A and B are shown apart, each in its own frame.
Chain A
Amino acid sequence: MSTTAPVNTSDRPVENISSATVRLAGDSGDGMQLTGSQLTNTSALAGNDVATFPDFPAEIRAPRGTRAGVSGFQVQFASEDIFTPGDQLDTLVVMNPAAFITNIGDLRKGGTLVVNTDSFTDKDFRLAAIEENPLDNPDLEDNYRVIKIGMTTLTRAAVEELGLSTKLADRCKNFFAMGFIYWLYGRDLQPTLTFIEQKFGNKPEIAGANERALKAGWNFGETTESALSTYHVTPAKLEPGTYRNIMGNQALALGCIAAARLSGKELFLGSYPITPASDILHELSRHKHFGVRTFQAEDEIAAACSTIGAAFGGAMAITTSSGPGIALKGEAIGLGMILELPMIVINIQRGGPSTGLPTKTEQSDLFQAMYGRNGESPLPIIAPCSPSDCFRTAIEAWQIASKYMIPVMLLSDGYIANGAEPWLIPSADELPEIEIQHPGPREEDAEPFLPYLRNEDLARPWAIPGTKGLEHRIGGLEKQENTGNVSYDPDNHQHMCELRDAKVQKIAEFIPEQQVTGEQSGDVLVLSWGGTYGACVTAVTHCVNDGLSVGHAHLRHLCPFPRNLETILGNFKKVLVPELNLGQLNTILRSEFLLETETLNKIKGRPFTVTEIEAKIRELL
């Protein structure tokens, strides 16, 4: 088996570009996700900065060839720091007409369109609900660089001598497409060759077929005149260190394992499968040797309740879900709040409302996190801004939860969860130790234990069962200050509600002050949160580079707000709040600061493009 990547020995010109945005789109069964992840991985290993955006259909297997079944994977790889997977596509690979029709609108003029012509038959047009063959349209060649390849035929020929069935042979065509794209962008084949060996090692015919298809795709580019030039994207100047690719959900899992270890705890996860959070359950279940106990509960409510039970027992306890699951957990989260036990509630937000768009991204659960429980039930809210940021967000969430004895709402989203980017790997000894103290045993004749006596952080002691002399009972009924005994006293209830509210406000002393990038004061402040970070950063950078008076503050803490936020807001003439919802942060800001704001609301199940944000900023200037 060859161990070196074929070198581009043709004398065709190589164009140097600083970035490339490639999208691979095909039927759900066409392997576009795998192709995309391999391209991402290979590009990252080559030193490019990468950012990804997988776009899954909601069904497991929609009818073959239909628009509902189109699965796409977009990756931008660059020789500079990038924060988004790209607004417009430079190259679009379509494996069938349905993929063509649903994606062509995103390909920039002059971009490269790679088509698998073998699946552009009348039957495929019918399945995709289109009238005519789009490849017959003369405008196509005018607008794009069209490369037509009979991928199915060529793949079958490449793997013929292995004697696979037609069905299995056809499954390799994604590797053919991959090979061609690798050639087009001068990518190294080796990482994928290694992947094939590892993943299909126990099925040598499949491994062999995939390998041949990959090389055939490369060779096709190399030997035919199909492409006039290839591209070269040099390594990016990232901060020195060791990197790996990481997806948001993975980073959350690693962050939680780290947080447990740093605080001398063992991690407990109570969870229930739900898109797009299930991967956290899967990842954590593989790390039992760290003392991680994962419990796939019978439903979302049991998941949250088991988490509270584990917290009562002294573990670092978390629960993960998405919007509909968080809705179910509401009563339990409220109990966690009044029990004042530490835990993390992770919501990987997806399109709502109700069942909504399970595989699409959105950030419309902020109201739910703020207000989604009966009674006065404030909770701290933290939101990562990118896949790699999920790691430190998990640790920060546990710091807050354990210091203040409170459930912390962590809001990620589908885009962050499934997106990948390079992660500068920290070394374990750089990470902060999280000190947790439990009260020790007491003698019979000692002062009675007061389970709700607060310290200067307004936190109560975390007394765990098994500790002699600290036996106490907690529950959801209102309780008397200090003793925790059930109390219906009117003044006590007022006092306790105010106290619980004050505790959340006090967290502002602990969380860092808000940073502003770009101008520190001026005409427009872009105030964003969650997964919109990349598009906002890029848009603001463009504006600042053009000399415009624009600043950017990206909130990672939504409750309480950073203590200097009000001052920052006052330093700008206009505050723009772009959100993937109908204006939730906006509403909260306005009510808290009595502030006029500008909004940019998009709720299409897709992230913002840089262009959308930039256009709005310029409009406000």
Chain B
Amino acid sequence: MSTELPVLKPAEFGSDQDVRWCPGCGDYSILAQMKKALAEQAFPREKTVFISGIGCSSRFPYYMNTYGIHSIHGRAPAFATGLKSVRPDLQVWVITGDGDSLSIGGNHLMHALRRNVDINIILFNNRIYGLTKGQYSPTSETGKVTKSTPMGSIDNPLTPLSVAMGCDGAFVARSIDVNIKHLGKTLLAAAAHKGASFVEVYQNCNIFNDGAFKYATDRETKSDNVLELEHGKPMIFGKDRDKGIRLNGITPEVVELGKGITEDDLLFHDEKASEPTLAFLLARMRQPEFPEPIGIFRSVDVPVYDEMLNGQVEAAREQKGTGELDALFNAGDTWEVS
């Protein structure tokens, strides 16, 4: 049997279906980076499964030439858990959106993360309900005027990464739809991590919420508004890389380098910290006070659900053999009638 990794091209991962997202949608970019990442990863295409819920994000599986299920609203992590439990050999991706995973799907997201099922959850956060044409979502800002909130939303929005970390997410990351190099490497890192990998992708819905992440993608502003995290490195941002994040007690503050502050004074990123304290702190850094961090907030190794589940099956077999039906039927008190 050949032990060489298959040589795959991104185009092989595309299905024969016409992509129906609106022209200009951020999803196209995510689709392209996913195909590139999968080709680079060289994991067999036939062992790759995409499971989605409902939403624009969730049309994704139809455009991938892998196995896929377009399931029901909010429930993809549950399908994925069932699939991984019986087929731990497959690579399972969950494609979801802010409404799908944080509104109706909140419960299933929570449990997939806290169980640490070996799946890769990619949340396309466009801060709106696109498919149903423009209602506010659990990540829309307070005061947002939409079709269902003509006087402005009165909801306090969720921060997806805070939710993920609150569920003890072992791999939590953020990227941006049009930051193609960053997105590509983040997807690869998520796939490589064993356990539940959660990636929030800032995604632009140009029809119903255009410009929601302009501050993070516009050439003029992005360097000042986005902080790229790197494990072990100090937190530096800005067009001239002259700004940094320093910890003042337990609160972060933005400081200018030079003027008595050097790199060594800054907060250094640690993906591998056993507690998510630093990661939480980073997730709370929001505009306009702070640059928003992108990259891997947290990546720790904890026991993986599907491995433990199948481990128990193995252990039971070692103890009791592979099970005989006649022995099973005749267990307990029996009696003869002649």
Contacts and interface: CB of A to CB of B under 8 A. Distances in A.
Interface of A: 41, 44-45, 47, 191, 235, 238-245, 254, 257-258, 261, 266, 268, 270, 287-293, 295, 297-299, 301-303, 305-315, 317, 331-332, 335, 339, 425-428, 431, 441, 465-477, 485-486
Nearest to A423: B329
B330 interface: yes
A288 B69 contact: no
Contacts of B85: 268, 293, 295, 306, 309-310
Contacts of A295: 81-82, 85, 309
A465 B90 contact: yes
Interface in B312-338: 312-313, 315-317, 319-326, 328-338
A312 B323 contact: no
Contacts of A475: 61-62, 68-71
The 9 A-B residue pairs with the shortest CB-CB distance in the complex, in nearest-first order: A475-B70, A309-B82, A306-B82, A305-B78, A288-B316, A473-B68, A290-B323, A309-B79, A309-B83
Nearest to B80: A309
Given A44-B335, A305-B72, A268 B329 contact: no
Interface stretch (B46-54, B170-178, B278-286): B46-54
Contacts of B329: 244, 254, 258, 425-426, 428
A309 B80 CA distance: 6
Contacts of A467: 46
B272 interface: no
Contacts of A41: 333
A303 B47 CA distance: 24
Given A47-B335, A312-B69, A473-B70, A290 B322 contact: yes
B107 interface: yes
B328 to A, nearest CB: 6
A425 B332 CA distance: 12
Contacts of B336: 241-243
B79 A306 contact: yes
11 contacts: A242-B335, A245-B332, A257-B323, A302-B75, A306-B82, A309-B78, A309-B81, A309-B83, A311-B82, A313-B87, A471-B66
B228 to A, nearest CB: 34
B332 A471 contact: no
Contact of A293 (B67, B75, B313): B313
B335 A476 contact: no
B333 A244 contact: yes
B9 to A, nearest CB: 13
Contacts of B222: none
Interface residues of B, number: 63
B144 to A, nearest CB: 29
Contacts of B47: 465-466
Contacts of A291: 313, 317, 322-323
B337 A238 contact: yes
Nearest to B336: A242
A465 B66 CA distance: 9
Given A305-B72, A428-B329, A473 B87 contact: no
B245 interface: no
Contact of B337 (A191, A243, A473): A243
A315 B81 CA distance: 13
Given A257-B325, A471-B67, A240 B81 contact: no
A548 B315 CA distance: 60
A468 to B, nearest CB: 4
A467 B334 CA distance: 45
A457 to B, nearest CB: 23
Given A240-B337, A308-B82, 13 more contacts: A245-B332, A258-B328, A270-B82, A288-B312, A295-B81, A302-B81, A305-B71, A308-B69, A312-B67, A315-B86, A473-B67, A475-B68, A477-B70
A191 B78 contact: no
A287 B81 contact: no
B89 interface: yes
Contacts of A317: 82, 86
Contacts of A299: 107
Given A305-B75, A310-B82, A476-B72, A289 B316 contact: yes
B83 A289 contact: no
Contacts of B185: none
A428 B85 CA distance: 28
Nearest to B322: A289
Nearest to B87: A313
A417 to B, nearest CB: 18
Contact of B328 (A235, A270, A290, A471): A290
B19 to A, nearest CB: 12
B82 A242 contact: no
Nearest to A444: B12
Contacts of A474: 68-70
Contacts of B110: 298
A477 B59 CA distance: 11
B111 interface: yes
Which among B44, B85, B332 has the highest number of chain A CB atoms within 10 Å? Answer: B85
Contact of B72 (A238, A306, A335, A428): A335
B64 interface: yes
A560 B304 CA distance: 43
B204 interface: no
B67 A465 contact: yes
B309 A293 contact: yes
Contacts of B328: 254, 257-258, 287, 290
A466 B323 contact: no
A364 to B, nearest CB: 26
A475 B51 CA distance: 9
B312 to A, nearest CB: 6
Contacts of B321: 289
B122 to A, nearest CB: 17
A312 B108 CA distance: 19
Nearest to A295: B85
B33 interface: no
A485 B20 CA distance: 13
Contacts of A305: 71-72, 75, 78-79, 82, 108
B308 to A, nearest CB: 11
A290 B324 CA distance: 8
Contacts of B338: 240
Contacts of B66: 471
A389 to B, nearest CB: 15
A201 to B, nearest CB: 17
Given A240-B338, A313-B83, A473-B70, A302 B323 contact: no
